[in-house]
Amino acid sequence: MPLTPVIGAEIHGVDLSGSLTDKVQKELREALITYQVIFFRDQNLTLDQHKAFGRLFGELHIHPTEPSPEGHPEVITIHADENSNAVAGMKWHSDVSCDTVPPMGSILHMHEVPAAGGDTLFASMYRAYETLSAPIQTLIGNLFAWHESIHVHGKRSGNDRILRDGRDAYPESLHPIVCIHPETNRKVLFVNENFTTRIEGLGRSESEGVLKILFDHIATPEFQCRFRWQPKSVAFWDNRSTQHRSVWDYYPACRHGYRVTITGEKPGHSATQTSFERL
């Protein structure tokens, strides 16, 4: 059942904890691509079942800095309560876009929700790109932007720069501003308020001005759906075609869940694929 004509659908009659037939897996993948974010209710998932469901769609991503439950490095804990002074995802973003190869999708399973509030907003980056005026589409069509993470993850985790496994705790990457979705070949806007810091080749005030236009545009309500969580709800979003942000309007109540993140491929750009591949 679609949530809006633009983005989001709630799917009923499937138990994500069990083994899913090839047909059901294919239908879920098609629904994800069509609706960009799909929602499920009343799912009883252990962390192992949650990971197994994620692995049906690709390898799981291990986040360099976010907290994980003991023994499950592929799972991120999403938690807020009366002791929190920030929560994950309070600005519009696609997950870990600072990675050279950002994730394809994320699956969030909520265990505990506040009595009211704590919704998540999702926005379609197809619609965001398609509703830009032609002159702005032309301006950004061949530009690349930096996505950084130290200002996002550094503040909360306080890690050393190089992790024990040798990975950089705070990756940064240059991506096309307009990417081609690898499964639909449609153009998406791929800059976000959380990670994107500057546009390559522009002066500082030019870059800030263009990014402000794009960030304001991305937050247009007509591109969005808003998901009201219940305990055991699941949201599965396509990071390549959407952005999302959490709403922390429920302090001091508790909200608790777990996310697995599925690895993706390097964002592609039709006009400059060759130069992008060189980066």
Catalytic residues: 93, 95, 244, 259
Based on the shown chain and the rule CB under 6 A, indicate whether residue 198 belongs to the binding site for ligand SIN: no
Please tell me the distance from the alpha carbon of residue 86 to that of residue 140, in angstroms, as a whole number.
32
Residue 224 as a binder of ligand SIN (CB under 6 A): the answer is no
Residue 65 is a binding residue for ligand SIN (CB under 6 A) = no
Distance CA 230, CA 119 (A): 10
Nearer of residues 110 and 180 to ligand SIN, judged by Cβ = 110
Q: Is position 259 an interface residue for ligand SIN (rule: CB under 6 A)? A: yes
What is the rounded distance in angstroms from the CA atom of residue 256 to the CA atom of residue 25?
27
Contact flag: residue 88 with ligand SIN (CB under 6 A): yes
Burial class (CB in 10 A: 0-12, 13-18, 19+), 202: middle
Q: Find, among 128, 145, 260, 220, the residue nearest to 181 by Cα.
A: 128
Residue 174: which of 267, 274, 259 has the closest Cα?
267
Whose Cβ is closer to ligand SIN: residue 120's or residue 224's? 120
Give the nearer residue to ligand SIN in terms of CB position, either 207 or 233: 233
**Distance separating alpha carbons of residues 232 and 113, to the nearest angstrom:** 9
Asked if 64 interacts with ligand SIN (CB under 6 A), we say no
Interface with ligand SIN, residue 89, by CB under 6 A? yes
Q: Which is nearer to ligand SIN, 240 or 244 (CB)?
A: 244
Q: What angle do CA 124, 220, 140 make, to 5 degrees?
A: 70
By CB under 6 A, tell whether 104 contacts ligand SIN: no
Which range, of 43-51, 53-61, 88-96, 207-215, touches ligand SIN by CB under 6 A? 88-96
Using CB under 6 A as the binding rule, whether residue 246 contacts ligand SIN is answered as: yes
Q: Are 181 and 32 spatial neighbours (Cβ–Cβ below 8 Å)?
A: no
Q: Does 78 bind ligand SIN (CB under 6 A)?
A: yes
- Give the x-and-dash track for 120-149 against ligand SIN (CB under 6 A): x-----------------------------
Q: Which residues contact 218 (CB under 8 A, 6 or more apart)?
A: 92, 123, 125, 128, 189, 191, 192, 193, 243
Residue written as token pair 């609706």: 35
Q: Would you say how long the chain is, in residues?
A: 279
- Contact region with ligand SIN (CB under 6 A), list: 19-27, 87-95, 169-177, 206-214: 87-95
Residue with smallest beta-carbon separation from ligand SIN = 89
Contact residues for ligand SIN, defined by CB under 6 A: 78, 88-89, 95, 106, 108, 120, 244, 246, 259
